[in-house]
Amino acid sequence: MIDVSIIGAGKLGTSLGYALSKKGFRIKALSCRTFSSAKESRKIIGEGKAFTDNVQTARYGEMVVLSVPDDEIEKIVEELLSSDIEWSKKFVFHCSGLLSSEILKPLKVKGALTASVHPIQSFAKKKPVLKAFKGIYFGLEGNRQALALSQKIVRKLGGHYFILKAKDKPLYHTACSIASNFFVILLDMAVSLFEQIGFEKELALQTLFPLVQGTLHNVKKFNIPSSLTGPVIRGDYKSITKHFKALEDFPLYYEAYLKLTAQALEIIKKEKKLSPEKIKALKILLEEK
């Protein structure tokens, strides 16, 4: 199997390193900003040398994975480029959902085989989870040979993949951010409104969880339009008006509710789930807000 170096063994890097090590890949080295963090990641993964030096880390791997924030990738590429490492036939992957493999071009010019390998999953903590990538989709983009290896890796991890064009990565990443981050923000908004009527935050979250889980179950089992419930799908003008009234003291929430209701109305119009009369009445209501 392949010797792997992980630069940026944070939450994603450590989870990936652990999963790869259990599938026969050899994690030879890993780096973090602090040595204590690198040692922690090494302990979780169970193998590899711990460093704070990215160049030293890269020397050990036939495959070098950059699992760092987007704004650090270019700096690390320059750092690696200034070393005496022989890049010919080394694989260099980064895990950014937003950036294409083009940011690795300086190493590609030196002979590296480059790709972007982005798992569509969030990682809240460093923890050893064997099947963390099972069933997960990966967005892949890059050099043909690097893509071949990344596809093999995804299959080994039990995941699925699709190939992206470099120009499509910003829109792809925006979609991922909306699905993950904005979902959390909307849940926080709902919890905050429960707090306004006297709920403790934890109780509010527990109260909403079954509703959220039921909705996600419906989306998975059926589809998005069929899972849309509530006053908009019913054309309930009075309920929506009362919602707006309730949110008058929360201007940001009011604006979000307005925009999302408008988007819900667009879905309903496409699916023809409401009479033209009710759609028109709701549209006029939204335009007046």
Domain boundaries, the chain: 3-164, 171-288
d(CA 179, CA 177): 5
Residues 207, 253: contact at Cβ < 8 Å? no
Mention every residue, 6+ apart, whose C-beta is less than 8 A from residue 130. Answer: 18, 19, 22
Q: What is the pLDDT of residues 96-125, one digit of tens each?
A: 999 999 999 999 999 999 999 999 999 888
Q: What's the pLDDT at 133? A: 95
d(CA 5, CA 284): 58
Residue type present at position 113 = L
Q: Find the angle CA(44)-CA(45)-CA(51) to the nearest 5 degrees.
A: 95
Q: What is the pTM of this model?
A: 0.90
Q: What is the pLDDT of residues 204-257, one digit of tens each?
A: 999 999 999 999 999 999 999 999 999 999 999 999 999 999 999 999 999 999
Q: What's the pLDDT at 127? A: 82
CATH 1.10.1040.20 is right for the domain spanning 171-288: yes
d(CA 46, CA 278): 61
3-state secondary structure of 116: strand
Q: Which of 231, 214, 234, 229 is nearest to 275 (CA)?
A: 234
Which CATH architecture does the domain made up of 3-164 adopt? Answer: 3-Layer(aba) Sandwich (3.40)
Please check the confidence at residue 1 and state whether its pLDDT lies above 90: no
Please check the confidence at residue 130 and state whether its pLDDT lies above 90: no
Q: Which residue has the tokens 């071009």?
A: 105
Q: What is the pLDDT of residues 168-216, one digit of tens each?
A: 999 999 999 999 999 999 999 999 999 999 999 999 999 999 999 999 9
